[in-house]
A and B are shown apart, each in its own frame.
Chain A
Amino acid sequence: MKVLVGVKRVVDFNTRIQVKSDGSGVQTDGVKFSMNPFDEIAVEEAIRLKEAGLATEVIAVSIGGDKNQDTLRSALAMGADSALLVKTDDEIQPLMAAKILKNLVEQQQPKLVLLGKQAIDDDANQTPQMLAGLLGWPQATFASKLEIDGDTAAVTREVDAGLETLSVDLPAVVSSDLRLNEPRYIKLPDIMKAKRKPLEVIDLADLNIAASASIATLKTSAPPQRQAGIKVESSEALVAELKARNLV
């Protein structure tokens, strides 16, 4: 079973986000970038499937500029077998990303596509579902547990009401939630090994995918900031304050 896993390069989750004063976006100069945490979990899951003898090959794919090669090298260091970068300097929105991934799926014929449930930059939470829709495949989003059994997968999903389990036929698209696993720590020898693994770069233009309708971003602004209020000294004072404000 071949597994395709998508990785996006995003502003590191520990970064304090600064909105540019001209409203054109958030500050990315001199900011640390990392693999989207949800994608890291997807890569980890794919590698665990391989280690368990359920997957034969793990291909990591990314869409974006040359710097995404670093992100793909991280996926290779974690244990992916090969990597594929679809190179473009354009902003790629979820519908287009899904179309690109569909194209790669048709070329690579994986039985499972693992993607992070959302990227922590645009927080869109769309690409996995769109890809599944375009392919006409089952989707199991927000997965916290994945069990492959022959041609089906049992997936536990984190939904608002609790944990939902679905059974889906393979091939399928699964999107990872935080509790699916804890990604491994990359060790130095793995980074050295990753340098020798194949990383192919294809130009987006060569895939001949027609442009999709997209959504225009008119401006980016800072959210209203909450201000620190008062400090109280004791539980009694807290209760008194809550009563004074008619909150209890």
Chain B
Amino acid sequence: MNKILVIAEHANGVLNSSTARAVACAAAIGGEITVAVLTTGSCDVAAQAAGLEGVVSVAELTNPGNAQALAALQAPQLLEISAGYTHVLAPNSTFGKDLMPRLAALLDRPMVTDIMAVQDARTFDRPVYAGNAITTVQVDDDGLVLATVRGASWPPVVQTQAPVTVECQTSDIDLPAHTRFVALDGEQGDRPDLQAAEKVISGGRGLGAAEHFALVEAVADKLGAAVGASRAAVDSGWVPNDLQVGQTGKIIAPDLYIAAGISGAIQHLAGIKDAGTIVAINKDPDAPIFEVADIGLVADLHEVLPALTEML
């Protein structure tokens, strides 16, 4: 029987939905699922994890070093509890990407990045070349399987069941002092989270200037959509980095994705391959975004976006 440990991602007392997505992948692997929650001692997050469908236990590890998720401090704590599991999974968010390879190195184990499908308990599909090829890979010895889970491929499990028990463990191992958190600069706006939103509208270089992003935001607010951006828009300083969609930004799977003034470079498309319906607004009829768009409109976004805001 597989024993699967899923490492929870959370911030400010709230469990990130990426955790429920990783649990969905664990359920596809099959086995007994435990969620590890690393905290400084507050039990809120562990309680949320305890209600996730399919989870049989929650291991809460408390340590003063867990005030922020620093890989150099969390990997040694996870090393302590990894023994006895057949699989350790984490979301393929910046949190999981930072942490899991470090843990894998401490365990002297290879690791699978970005599971998009489970073939069997040790065989997985994962994207390479910005999603332009899919490899089927296998951990073909009998050692621990370590992997991150591609959120966009796994709809989150629901929070339904009566909470399972939370086992609290205080980790008293010495943690390194060589890595210190200084600050997090992130805007907590009123719009939905890009990675969880059902609708997303993104703007690219075609917007022409920072102030024109307001056109995108106006449509977003009408739709209750999250706002995204291409790398060109982020590099131009029009919007913060956390809005970038694509190979090196966020990989998302909303029901509706609207790309305005975005050409459709492969690195951008890598982030939206799993979107339900893609709408492209671009004045260039030959823009590659039209090759993947379900609905295309060849027009100037400066006319289209205000019109949409008006009509929606």
Instruction: Name A residues whose Cβ lies closer than 8 Å to a Cβ of B.
Output: 11, 13, 16-17, 19, 26, 93-95, 98, 117-118, 120-134, 136-142, 144, 154, 157-169, 172, 177-179, 212-223, 226-239, 241-242, 245, 247-248
Contact = CB atoms under 8 A, between A and B. Distances in A.
Given A213-B143, A226-B278, A95 B182 contact: no
A16 B133 CA distance: 11
Given A121-B128, A239-B311, A134 B105 contact: yes
B36 to A, nearest CB: 18
From DSSP, what is the main secondary structure of chain A's interface residues?
mixed
B47 interface: no
Instruction: Please list the 10 inter-chain residue pairs (A to B) with the smallest Cβ-Cβ separation, ordered nearest first.
Output: A162-B186, A133-B105, A129-B101, A229-B294, A235-B307, A17-B132, A126-B101, A130-B105, A133-B102, A165-B182
17 contacts: A13-B267, A17-B132, A98-B105, A121-B129, A125-B101, A133-B101, A144-B241, A162-B186, A165-B182, A168-B180, A179-B235, A221-B134, A223-B134, A226-B278, A231-B296, A231-B297, A234-B297
Given A11-B129, A26-B129, A123-B113, 16 more contacts: A17-B129, A95-B105, A120-B129, A123-B128, A139-B102, A141-B71, A141-B98, A160-B95, A169-B179, A212-B108, A214-B110, A218-B123, A222-B134, A238-B281, A238-B295, A247-B277
B133 A222 contact: yes
A116 to B, nearest CB: 11
From DSSP, what is the main secondary structure of chain B's interface residues?
mixed
Contact of B110 (A93, A163, A178): A93
Contact of A245 (B137, B187, B240, B277): B277
Contacts of B139: 215-216
Nearest to A124: B113
Given A166-B70, A177-B248, A216-B140, A138 B311 contact: no
Interface string B111-145: 11110000000010001111111111111110100
Contacts of A228: 290-293, 296
Interface string B178-195: 111111111100000001
B164 interface: no
Interface string B245-283: 001101000011000000000110000010011110100
A19 B180 contact: no
Contacts of A169: 178-179
Interface of B: 11, 70-72, 75, 93-95, 97-106, 108-114, 123, 127-141, 143, 176, 178-187, 195, 199, 223, 231, 234-235, 240-242, 247-248, 250, 255-256, 266-267, 273, 276-279, 281, 290-299, 303-304, 307-308, 311-312
Given A123-B130, A248-B312, A168 B179 contact: yes
A160 B250 CA distance: 8
Contacts of B108: 95, 212-213
A13 to B, nearest CB: 8
Given A167-B182, A213-B108, A179 B131 contact: no
A163 B241 contact: yes
A133 B75 contact: yes
Contacts of B290: 228, 231
A234 to B, nearest CB: 8
A164 B93 CA distance: 14
Contacts of A178: 231, 235, 248
Nearest to A128: B101
A123 B114 contact: yes
A137 B104 contact: no
Nearest to B94: A159
Nearest to B294: A229
Contact of B136 (A221, A223, A234, A238): A221
B311 A236 contact: yes
Contacts of A219: 135-136
A162 B194 CA distance: 12
A163 to B, nearest CB: 5
Given A95-B109, A248-B223, A164 B183 contact: yes
